[in-house]
Amino acid sequence: APGRKTLPLLPGSTLGVMGGGQLGRMFVHAAQATGYFTAVLDPDPDSPAGRISHHHLHADYLDSDALGRLSRLADAVTTEFENVPAQALATLAGDVPVAPAADAVAIAQDRIREKAHFVRCSAASGIGCAPYAVIENADHLAAVSADLLPGILKTARMGYDGKGQQGVQTLAELAAAWEATGRVPCVLEKRLPLALECSVIVARGHDGQAVHFPPQRNLHRGGILAVTEVHDQALPPAVAARGVEAARAIAEGIGYVGVLCVEFFMLEDGSLVANEMAPRPHNSGHYTMDACDISQFDLQVRTLAGLPLVTPRQHSPAIMLNLLGDLWFAEGSDQQRDPAWAQVLALPGTHLHLYGKTEARRGRKMGHLNITGADVAGVRAAAAQAAALLG
Ligand code: ADP
Ligand code: MG
C-alpha cells in the first residue's frame, strides 16, 4: 500500500501481534525493549499482552474492522497463538507484511497437513513421524490397521497441552473415541516407546537465512510441559545435531519466515521422529531469555522487522520449570495463595517470569522459572531446591 514502510523496520516502527497470551506478552516486552511500539489484537480485554501493549484492540480475530485498524496501526504483524485463524493472517497480508505466513500457520494448525509436511520433508530432514492414519470419515475408520494400536487418537485441529487426545487399545475403543470427538477429522498415531522428548527452535528470515538455538530436552506431566533442560548433559550430541538439521529442513521446506519450534521424540532405539511444530516461540524456548545472548522473542522481533539474524550463543546451562496454577494452592485447599517466591529467589541463578494472570487455575500456565549457573551440577541443585520449595 502507498506510504508503507519497507523492511527492515527500524525501532520506532509499530509491530503487531495476533493473540494476547503470555507468548505475545514476552514478544511485546522484547519489542518494546528495543524501541518498537506494539499493537495486540485479542478478544480478551484483560489479556496478558494487551495489558502492557501501546495499543490493544479487543475484538474477535476475524473482525474485519479490527483487522483493518491493526494493519493501519502496525508496520508488520506476527502471531503468538497457533489457533488464530489463518484466514485472519491472510487478510492482514493484503495490507501489511505478515510473518509467519498464513499458509505456514495453516499447516501447523492441522495435524493432518502437519504430518504430510513432515513426510514430504523426510528426505531433506532425515527423519519421519510416528506411523499414523488420517480419520476423516467412517470409511477411513473402517480401514485402520490394527498395527497402529495401541495408539493415540488426536483431533486434527485445536489440540494443545494434551487436550483433544485419547489413548486407544483396540479398534472398538478407537471407534468409540472417534464418536466422542463428534466425528471431527483426527489422526490416529501409533503409541511409540519414548526414551525422551526434545525440541528445537529455528528463526528464519525473509532472505532465507536461518539460525537455531541449542536443542531442549523436555519433560511433560499430564500432557503439559513441566521441565526443560538445556546443557551438555541433557541430550546425546548426535540427537541434538539431527534435531537441528531436521528443524531447519522443516522450516526451509515451507519457506518459513519467523520463529518455529519443532518437537521430536527420541525412541528407545535411539531414532528420532518429528512430533509437531509451532509457528511461533515455544514454551520450551523460554530458557533462551536468561541463558542465551539473544532470546526467542528477540529473534521473533528481528524476523518480523527484517533485521539481521545472529546465531544465538548459550552462555549458561539452563533448567526451566513451568509454573502452573496448581502451585497457587496448598494441598487440599481451594484458597489461592502466593508460592514461596522470596525463598525461591534466594537460590542462586533463579529468574522468575510471571505472566500477570491474576486468577490461578489448576493446569493454567502462570509463569516459568529459569535457573542458570556456572555448571550443570549447580543448576540441577538449585532447580531441585526450587521445585521442593514450590511443592
Ligand atoms: P500437544 O499439542 O497436546 O502438545 P502432542 O502431540 O505433542 O500434543 O502430544 C502431547 C504429549 O503426548 C507428547 O509430548 C508426548 O509426551 C505424548 N505423545 C504424543 N504422541 C505420542 C506417541 N505417538 N507416542 C507416545 N507418546 C506420545
Ligand atoms: Mg506437543
Domain 14-98 in this protein, CATH class: alpha beta
Q: What percent of the chain has pLDDT over 70?
A: 99
Start and end residues for every CATH 3.30.1490.20 domain found in the chain: 131-190
- Rounded CA-CA distance 161/322 in Å is 13
**C-beta of residue 337 within 8 angstroms of C-beta of residue 360:** no
What CA–CA distance (Å, rounded) separates 22 from 48? 6
The residue whose CB lies within 8 Å of the most ligand 1 atoms, and thus the one to mutate among 153, 158, 165, 169, is: 165
pLDDT in tens, 28-73: 999 999 999 999 999 999 999 999 999 999 999 999 999 999 999 9
Give the number of the ligand closest to the Cα of residue 223. Answer: 1
Q: How confident is the model at residue 161 (pLDDT cuts 50, 70, 90)?
A: confident
d(Cα 283, Cα 217) in Å, to the nearest integer?
A: 12
Amino acid, res. 19 = G
pLDDT-based confidence at residue 2 (cuts at 50, 70, 90) = low
C-alpha distances (whole Å) from 356 to each of 118, 161, 303 are 36, 20, 26
ipTM of the complex: 0.98
* Lowest-pLDDT choice from 80-84, 189-193, 240-244, 350-354: 80-84
The ligand 1 atom nearest the CA atom of 159: 2
- Element (H or E) spanning 118, and its range? helix 111-125
Residue 27 to residue 299: CA distance in whole angstroms: 9
**Positions of CATH 3.40.50.20 in the chain:** 14-98
In the predicted structure, residue 226 carries a pLDDT above the cut 90 = yes
Residue nearest to atom 21 of ligand 1 (CA): 191
Give mean pLDDT, residues 265-279.
96
Q: Which amino acid is at 177?
A: A
Whether omega for the bond prior to residue 8 falls within 30 degrees of 0, making it cis, is yes
- Residue 374: which residues within 8 A CB-CB, separation 6 or more? 316
What lies within 8 Å, CB to CB, of 3 at 6+ separation is none
Distance between Cα 223 and ligand 1 center (Å): 7
Beta bridge pairs of residue 225: 220
In this structure, the chain runs to a length of 391
Report the distance separating Cα 325 and Cα 332, nearest Å: 14
CB atoms < 10 A from the CB of 172, how many?
A: 9
Share of the chain above pLDDT 90, in %: 94
Rounded Cα–Cα distance for residues 289 and 25 (Å): 13
Asked whether the predicted pLDDT for residue 1 surpasses 60, the reply is no
What is the pLDDT, as a whole number, of residue 309?
Answer: 98
What span, in angstroms and rounded, lies between the C-alpha atoms of 22 and 188?
Answer: 31
Pocket of ligand 1 (CB under 6 A): 130, 152, 154, 159-162, 189, 191-192, 194, 197, 220, 223, 263, 275-276
Q: Which residues belong to CATH 3.30.470.20 in the chain?
A: 194-390
Cell 487426545 appears where?
Answer: 165
Average of pLDDT values for 161-167? 85
What is the homologous superfamily of the domain 194-390 according to CATH? Answer: ATP-grasp fold, B domain (3.30.470.20)
> Residue 158: pLDDT above 90?
no
Residue 29 CA, ligand 1 centroid: distance in Å? 30
Per-chain mean pLDDT for the chain: 96
Mean of pLDDT values over 265-274: 96
Strands of the chain, DSSP E: 14-18, 37-41, 55-57, 76-79, 132-135, 151-155, 165-168, 186-190, 194-204, 210-212, 216-221, 224-230, 258-267, 272-278, 318-324, 350-354, 365-372
Return d(Cα 207, Cα 257) in angstroms, integer: 9
Residue 320 neighbours by CB under 8 Å, 6+ apart: 227, 228, 229, 284, 286, 287, 368, 369, 370, 371
Contacts of residue 173, defined as CB under 8 A and 6 or more positions apart, other chains included, come to none
DSSP bridge partners of 270: none
At 387, is the pLDDT very low, low, confident or very high (cuts 50, 70, 90)?
very high
In CATH, 131-190 is 3.20.20.140? no
Ligand 1 atom closest to residue 162's alpha carbon, by position in its atom list: 3
**Residues β-bridged to residue 154:** 165, 187
Q: Which residue has the cell 536443542?
A: 215
Residue 159 has pLDDT above 90, yes or no: no
What average pLDDT does range 5-9 have in this prediction? 94
Q: Is the pLDDT of residue 391 over 90?
A: no
Beta pairing partners, 13? 11
Residue type, 75: D
SS3 content of the chain, % helix, strand, coil (to 5): 35, 25, 40
Quick one: pLDDT at residue 160? 77
Q: What cell was used for 251?
A: 522450516
Expressed in angstroms and rounded, the spacing between residue 274 Cα and the centre of ligand 1 is 11
